[in-house]
Structure 1
C-alpha cells in the first residue's frame, strides 16, 4: 500500500496556483522589467532620503560640532530640547503658521476659486496667481521689507491719508504677523490653482439644479462645491502641513531687518535647526540640530496622519 507524503504548505500553494489565472507574455515581461526600472529610483531614495534620516537619528544621540570627535549623549539632546524655551517657541510659531496661515490660505483660495469659476478669462488670472510660486521666498521677504520699512511705500501712502504714526511693521513685536501674512500671500496662488482644478471637474448641471431649488451662493458652495472637491481639499491640507515645517527664508530675512540674526521669539522649527547647526553666535551642535529636526518631522507626520483621518470621506463619483 503506497503512502503519499504531502509537504507542509504544498496544498496551500497548489490552491493558490489553481486560483491564479495564467499570466500573459506581456505580464511576464513586465515582471521581469520591474526591478531594473525600480532600482535606480530606489537607490536614489535610499541615498538621499532614507540614509540621511537614519544618520540624523544616530547623530541625535550624540554631540558633534563637525570638527571634533563625536561624543555619545544618549537622550540628553532630547531632554535639552524639552527644557529649551526657544525650541518651544519655535514649535508654537510653526503651529501658528500651520493653523492660522492655513486657515487664511484656504478661505482666500476658495473665495477666489468661487469668483473665478464663472469668469471667461479665468485661465489668464490663474497664471497670474500662480506666478508667485515660481519666486524664491527670499524675494518676498526683501520686497516686503522694502514696502513696509519706515521710509517705504506703505508708510508713504499712509502719510498722505493723514496717518502720521503708522505701526512699526518690521518691529520685533510684529514680525510673526508679517511672516504669516507673507506666507499666506506667497501660497494663495498655488492653492487657488489646485482647488480650481478640482472645482472645474464639477458639472455645471449640479449648480443649475441647486439654483433651481433656491440655493444661494453660500448654500451652493456648502452643498455642491465643498463636498465634490473634498479630495482636493484633503491633498492641499496635507501639502500645507508639510510645507510649514520648511518655513525658513522669510524668518531669516525679516530677522535680518531687525538685527544681525532673527530674534528668538520669531524662530520656526526649521530656523531652530539651522541656528543649532550653523550659528556663528553659539557653539555648533549637529546632535541638537538632528534631534530638533526629527522631533519636528515626527510632529508634522503625526499632524498629517491626523488630518488625513479627520478629512477622510467616501469617494464621490462625478457623472
Structure 2
C-alpha cells in the first residue's frame, strides 16, 4: 500500500494534510515545459552535423561509388574487402599501437610531470612550456623532423661525435612509425599534464600535509591522494585520448608522404586508410570502401570508449 509523508502547521490541528512534494509540482511542470525549447535546437544541430553524415556514410558504404557516376549496389562486400585487405589490417594495428602504447606512455609521463610540478615554484611557467607543442601546427613537426633526423642532420652529427659510425636511418620505412608515435607522445604529454594539473590544483593542500605526516612518499601521495581524487578528470582524459588516437592523420602524411607519392602502407592508420581510399593518387576514388572503413573506425572508438568508461567507473569521493 502506498503511503505519503504529511505535515500539519502548528495551531491548525484540523487543517487538511499537505503531501510533501506537491509544493514543487508547478516548478516541475515549468521544467518540463521548457525542456524541449532548450534541448531541441541542440538536438537538431547535433543531428544535422553528426547523425545525418554518419547515416549517409553507412548508406554509401553499401555501394561502389567513385563520387561522380551512378552507385552500384554491393551490400556488405565493402566490409568483406576490408576484412581481406592486409593494408587495412596494418592500419588497425597501427591505430591500436598509438592508442595503447602511446596512451600508456603519455599518461605515465603526465603523472610523473604532475608529481614534479606540484611542488615546483615556477609550475605555471613550466606548464605553459609543456603545453606549447599543442599550439604548433603539425607541418612544423614534419619540417623539423626532416631536418633534424636527415642523414646529415644534427642528431647523426652528435652521434658521430660520440663514436657512432653507422647511425640509424631515422626516416626509413622501418623506423618512421616509431618516430610518429614519439612525436605524438611529445605533443600530447603537455596537453594532458595541463589538464591533470588543473585537477590537482583543486585538491586541498591539507590532504597532502596529512599524508606527509603519516610518512607517505611522493609516489604514495600520487597513488593514494592525487589519482583517487582526480579520477573523474583522468577518466575524461582517457576518453579524449581514445578519440584523438583514432584520428591521427596529419603526422603520418607529413612524415611519410612526399610530392610524388603517399606514405608507406606500414605507417598507415585507419584515418589514413580512409583518406587514401577517398582521395587516391592516380586512381579512381573508392567512396564506398572509404565510408565502410570510416564506420569501422567509428565503431572501434565507440567500443573502446564504452569499455574504458566501464572499467574506470568508481564511486565519487567527497572531500
Query: TM-score, normalised to structure 1's length?
Result: 0.88
- What does residue 117 of structure 2 align with? 116
Alignment partners' CA distance in 2, 1:50 and 1:199: 36
- What does residue 284 of structure 1 align with? 285
**Do the aligned partners of 2:261 and 2:281 also contact (CA within 8 Å) in 1?**
no
The more displaced of 92-101 and 144-153 is: 144-153
- What does residue 71 of structure 1 align with? 72
- What does residue 14 of structure 2 align with? none
Residue 142 of structure 1 and its aligned partner are, at CA, apart by 2.2
**Do the aligned partners of 2:151 and 2:169 also contact (CA within 8 Å) in 1?**
yes
Residue 246 of structure 1 and its aligned partner are, at CA, apart by 0.5
- What does residue 317 of structure 1 align with? 318
**Do the aligned partners of 2:257 and 2:263 also contact (CA within 8 Å) in 1?**
yes
Q: Per-residue displacement from partner, 1:34-87 (whole Å, max 9, x unpaired)?
A: 444444433321221111000000001111001111111001000000000000
Summarize the alignment of residues 153-164 of structure 1 with structure 2, pairs less than 5 Å apart: 153-164=154-165
Unaligned runs of at least 5 residues, structure 2: 1-18
Alignment partners' CA distance in 2, 1:171 and 1:94: 20
**Do the aligned partners of 2:115 and 2:218 also contact (CA within 8 Å) in 1?**
no
**Do the aligned partners of 2:61 and 2:289 also contact (CA within 8 Å) in 1?**
yes
Q: Per-residue displacement from partner, 1:243-291 (whole Å, max 9, x unpaired)?
A: 0111000111111259721111111000000011001143311000000
Q: Per-residue displacement from partner, 1:208-253 (whole Å, max 9, x unpaired)?
A: 2222222222222211122111111111111000001110001111
Alignment partners' CA distance in 1, 2:119 and 2:113: 11
Summarize the alignment of residues 1-319 of structure 1 with structure 2, pairs less than 5 Å apart: 21-23=23-25, 34-256=35-257, 260-318=261-319
Q: Per-residue displacement from partner, 1:133-184 (whole Å, max 9, x unpaired)?
A: 1222232222222211112221222222222321111100001100100000
Query: TM-score, normalised to structure 2's length?
Result: 0.88
**Do the aligned partners of 2:252 and 2:268 also contact (CA within 8 Å) in 1?**
yes
Residue 295 of structure 1 and its aligned partner are, at CA, apart by 0.5
Alignment partners' CA distance in 2, 1:38 and 1:143: 46
**Do the aligned partners of 1:170 and 1:258 also contact (CA within 8 Å) in 2?**
no
- What does residue 11 of structure 1 align with? none
Alignment partners' CA distance in 1, 2:130 and 2:101: 21
The more displaced of 43-52 and 96-105 is: 43-52
**Do the aligned partners of 1:172 and 1:258 also contact (CA within 8 Å) in 2?**
no
Question: What's the secondary structure of 1:108's corresponding residue?
Answer: helix
Q: Per-residue displacement from partner, 1:104-129 (whole Å, max 9, x unpaired)?
A: 10011111111000112111211121
- What does residue 6 of structure 1 align with? none
Residue 189 of structure 1 and its aligned partner are, at CA, apart by 0.9
**Do the aligned partners of 2:113 and 2:193 also contact (CA within 8 Å) in 1?**
yes
**Do the aligned partners of 2:60 and 2:287 also contact (CA within 8 Å) in 1?**
yes
Residue 32 of structure 1 and its aligned partner are, at CA, apart by 5.2
Alignment partners' CA distance in 2, 1:180 and 1:22: 56
The number of residues matched between the two structures is: 301
**Do the aligned partners of 2:106 and 2:189 also contact (CA within 8 Å) in 1?**
yes
Alignment partners' CA distance in 2, 1:132 and 1:36: 41
